Amino acid sequence: MTYDETCYINLKDGTIEDSAEGYLHCDKLIAPTILELNNKGYKTTASCSGHSTKLHASNPIEIQIDNNDGMSVEEQIEKALLYCYQQGMIVMVNRVDKNTIYLDALSTGTYIYVSFQKIYDFPNLPKEFMKSDDSQNRTSIGKWIERRRSDNTYKTNKEFYQEIVLANQELLEWAKSLDYNIEKNI
């Protein structure tokens, strides 16, 4: 199992499957947490386990190659990458054709969250998770994981993935520690 696969949860029998009929759609990494919460009476509406994937490939950054400035294509690619880095973007070269450099932007972080059908007054939250209640009387809890470190270097994909997995494990342990909800919601 990888952390960016999705699955479906049958809330009646507690099974987790790959097909949709009669199931709640969910990322596989967070599925045990969602099942635990729903089984304890904390009804969820949406969730995300966090992702470290590229932004949609349909939106690549296109940089026109200037064949008249005396720079080689490699030098223009290096200049483009440096500019993007200075703007706080993480990019990688997708492809280069005769006149254009195509860069894929990577996300600067990810958000792990669970949204609920109602407002719940939880006694505590997992480490670094925040709670918010919206105007439609629903609670959400979430945690932002930044790809950039405080010294402006970037975590490797492995480090970033491990942080996502750890946060999901902490979220599951938190869900397991909750008492069963007997309509304590507002």
Higher pLDDT: 68 or 118? It is 118
Neighbour tally for 34: CB within 10 Å: 25
Distances in whole angstroms, Cα of residue 73 to Cα of each of 24, 70, 89, 158: 49, 10, 21, 31
How much is the pLDDT for 154? 79
What's the CA gap between 137 and 115, in Å, rounded? 11
Bridge partners of 48?
A: 113
Q: What is the mean pLDDT of residues 91-111?
A: 81
Q: What is the mean pLDDT of the chain?
A: 82
- Range picked from 71-75, 83-87, 114-118, 150-154 for highest mean pLDDT: 114-118
How much is the pLDDT for 162? 94
The amino acid sitting at 60 is: P
Residue for token digits 């969250």? Answer: 113
How much is the pLDDT for 19? 60
Q: Nearest to residue 36, comparing CAs of 139, 174, 166?
A: 174
How much is the pLDDT for 58? 43
Higher pLDDT: 53 or 117? It is 117
Neighbour tally for 50: CB within 10 Å: 27
Q: What is the mean pLDDT of residues 127-132?
A: 95
pTM reported for the whole predicted model: 0.66
The string of pLDDT tens digits covering residues 167-184 is 999 999 999 999 999 864
Q: Nearest to residue 46, comparing CAs of 116, 141, 110?
A: 116
Tell me if 88 sits within 8 A of 147, measured CB to CB.
no
The string of pLDDT tens digits covering residues 6-64 is 777 776 777 777 666 666 778 999 999 999 999 999 999 889 998 765 443 445 678 88
Q: Nearest to residue 107, comparing CAs of 50, 152, 150?
A: 50
How much is the pLDDT for 21? 63
